[in-house]
Amino acid sequence: MRNIIVQKYGGSSVANLQKIMRVARRVISYKKKGFNVVVVVSALGDTTDELLELASGITKTPPERELDMLMATGEQVSVALLAMAIHKFGKEAISFTGAQVGIMTDSSHTKARIIDVNTRRIRRELEKGRIVIVAGFQGINIDQEITTLGRGGSDMTAVALAKVLKARMCEIYTDVEGVFTTDPRIVKNARKLDSISYEEMLEMASLGAQVMQARSIEAAGKYNIPIHVRSSFSGKQGTYISKEVSAMEDVLVRGVTLNKNEAKVTVCDVPDKPGVAARIFEKIAKGNINVDMIIQNVSRKGYTDVSFTVVVGDLKKTIRILENFIKKIKAKAVTYDKGIAKVSVVGIGMRSHSGVAAKTFKALAAKKINIDMISTSEIKISCVLKKKKGAPAVKALHKAFGLGR
Ligand code: ADP
Ligand code: ASP
Ligand code: MG
C-alpha cells in the first residue's frame, strides 16, 4: 500500500476534548487529501506524570512491570477518544493498543526497545479505508507483558511505524512550531530551524531538548525516515529532520539545551587503584542504569572521589545498588545532589572550528555562573551547574553564540 503518512500527536496536542476534536479534523483533512493515515497518540496532557504520582503515593519503589501496566493506560484513553471524535465527524477510524498491533519489544520495563512490528492488522484496516489510531509509548514483550518505551516514547512508536509501513512522511505534531535553537519557553527570541540533521537533533534530544525523544531520532537516522516536527495549532511549516546537508556545516553552534532531569552521584574516598572504577560502573550497568557524565578527582593519599550523573528516575535505584556495594570496594560513602542542571551547546560545525569551549566558559563566567562538571564530544560541550542557574546559563549561551532572531 502506498501514500501512507504517520502523524503523531503529543500529550499537549490532545490535552482536552476540544483539542482532541481539532486533531480529529486535521487527521480527516489528510484522509480527504488521499493519504492513508496512521495516527499515533500520547496520553492526554500530563496524564503520564499524574499516573506516576499516583504510584509514588503508594510506594517509592513500585515494581517496574506494574509501572508499565499503569502508564500504558494513559494512551489507551486518548486513542479511544480520538477514534470517537473521528466517528462523530462521519469518518471511519479504529483504535489499537501497542499490543494489538504487534509492537514487540524487549523486556526492559519502563525503557523497552522495539524489536519488531507486525503490520498486518494496520494494513488490513487501512485497506478498508479506515484511519488507524495506535497508542504511542507502549508495546508487548515475548511473555505478553505490557512494556513502555521510555518518556517521550510515542515519538519512537511513530518512527517505528513510519519505517515498517514505508510511510512518505512521519509528522510529529506538538505545542511549538518546530525545533528551535533552544527551548522557546526559556528564550523568547529563540529561532525556529527550517531543517536540522539527524545527528544534531539526536545530540540536542539526548542533551535535553524535549521536543523529540532521542531514541526515536537514532532510529530515524539509521533508516533515513523523513520527519517533520510542526505545530498542531497552525498549518505552518515546521522543522524537517533529515540527513546532513552541506550548508548545515556553516553553522558553528546549532542550539543550546537544558536538562534538569539528572542528578549527580558521588562515591567518596574510593581506593585509587586499577579496576575499581570498572567494578563500580559494571555494577550500575547491571542494574540497567545509564550513566552520563563521569568525573574522577585527583587522587589524595591513595583515595579519590568518583562523580557521575544519572537521570533522576534512576537515582534511588543507583543509590540502593551503591550503598551495599561501597563496602566491598572499601569506599567511604555515597552521596547525591538533585539540585543540578546540565547546559549544552551543540553543532556539527564545532568539528572544524576551535574556540567554542573558551567562548562557552567565558559567557558563563560573565554571568558569574560556576561550572561543576564539564564534558565534551566533537559536536557538543556540556556543563553541569546549579539548577537555578540553568535558565540564565541557556540565555547567556544563546546570546553569546548569536542564535536569536
Ligand atoms: P509533546 O507533548 O507534543 O510530546 P513535549 O513536551 O514532549 O511535547 O515537547 C515539546 C516541548 O519541548 C516544547 O513545549 C518546548 O518547551 C520543549 N523544547 C525544549 N527544547 C526545545 C527546542 N530546542 N525546540 C522546540 N521545543 C523545545
Ligand atoms: N505519555 C508518554 C510520556 O509522557 C509518552 C509521550 O508523551 O510520548 O512520556
Ligand atoms: Mg514528547
Going by DSSP bridges, is the β-strand pair 333-337/380-386 parallel, antiparallel, or unpaired?
unpaired
Which residues are bridge partners to 383 per DSSP? 343, 374
Three cell numbers, residue 299? 587522587
pLDDT value, residue 246: 56
Q: Which ligand 2 atom is the nearest neighbour of the CA of 213?
A: 8
Q: Whole-angstrom Cα distance, residue 289 to residue 283?
A: 9
Q: To which H or E segment does residue 6 belong?
A: strand 4-9
What single-letter amino acid sits at 148? T
* Count of beta carbons in the 10 Å neighbourhood of residue 354: 7
* Distance in Å, CA 9 to ligand 2 centroid: 10
Output the residue whose Cα is nearest ligand 1's atom 11: 211
* Distance in Å, CA 41 to ligand 2 centroid: 9
Residue 183 Cβ contacting ligand 1 at under 6 Å: yes
157 near 72, Cβ under 8 Å? no
Going by DSSP bridges, is the β-strand pair 195-197/239-242 parallel, antiparallel, or unpaired?
parallel
pLDDT value, residue 301: 87
pLDDT value, residue 248: 52
Which of 137, 213, 261 to mutate for ligand 2's pocket (most ligand atoms within 8 Å of CB)?
Answer: 137
Q: Whole-angstrom Cα distance, residue 77 to residue 62?
A: 22
Q: pLDDT 10s digit of each residue in the chain, 405 long?
A: 889 999 999 999 999 999 999 999 999 999 999 999 999 999 999 999 999 999 999 998 899 999 999 999 999 999 999 999 999 999 999 999 999 999 999 999 999 999 999 999 999 999 999 999 999 999 999 999 999 999 999 999 999 999 999 999 999 999 999 999 999 999 999 999 999 999 999 999 999 999 999 999 999 999 999 999 999 999 999 999 999 765 655 788 999 999 999 999 999 999 988 999 999 999 999 988 999 999 988 888 899 999 999 999 899 999 999 998 999 999 999 999 999 999 999 998 898 888 999 999 999 999 999 999 999 999 999 999 999 999 999 999 999 999 999
Q: Whole-angstrom Cα distance, residue 137 to residue 154?
A: 4
Handedness of CA 83, 87, 90, 93 (dihedral sign): positive
Q: Whole-angstrom Cα distance, residue 211 to residue 183?
A: 9
With CA atoms as reference, report the closest residue to 214 among 264, 144, 261, 246.
Answer: 261
Residue 48 Cβ contacting ligand 2 at under 6 Å: yes
First to last CA, the chain: 43
Going by DSSP bridges, is the β-strand pair 294-296/333-337 parallel, antiparallel, or unpaired?
unpaired
Give rounded-to-5 percent helix, strand, coil for the chain: 40, 25, 35
* Distance in Å, CA 353 to ligand 3 centroid: 32
Please, which residues have CB within 8 angstroms of residue 259's CB and are 6 or more apart in sequence?
Answer: 207, 208, 341, 342, 343, 344
Residue 136 Cβ contacting ligand 2 at under 6 Å: yes
Please, which residues have CB within 8 angstroms of residue 11's CB and are 6 or more apart in sequence?
Answer: 42, 43, 44, 45, 46, 47, 48
* Distance in Å, CA 90 to ligand 1 centroid: 32
Residue 11 Cβ contacting ligand 1 at under 6 Å: yes
Residue 153 Cβ contacting ligand 2 at under 6 Å: yes
Residue 201 Cβ contacting ligand 1 at under 6 Å: no
**Chain length of the chain:** 405
Q: Which ligand 1 atom is the nearest neighbour of the CA of 204?
A: 23
Residue 98 Cβ contacting ligand 2 at under 6 Å: no
pLDDT value, residue 297: 83
Q: Whole-angstrom Cα distance, residue 143 to residue 69?
A: 14
Residue 45 Cβ contacting ligand 2 at under 6 Å: no
Q: Whole-angstrom Cα distance, residue 56 to residue 68?
A: 14
Residue 85 Cβ contacting ligand 1 at under 6 Å: no
pLDDT value, residue 313: 87
Q: What is the DSSP string of 13-60?
A: GGSSHHHHHHHHHHHHHHHHTT-EEEEEE--STTHHHHHHHHHHHH-S
Give the number of the ligand closest to the Cα of residue 232. Answer: 1
Going by DSSP bridges, is the β-strand pair 373-377/380-386 parallel, antiparallel, or unpaired?
antiparallel
pLDDT value, residue 298: 84
With CA atoms as reference, report the closest residue to 155 among 167, 182, 173, 179.
Answer: 173
pLDDT value, residue 247: 61
144 near 100, Cβ under 8 Å? no
Output the residue whose Cα is nearest ligand 2's atom 6: 152
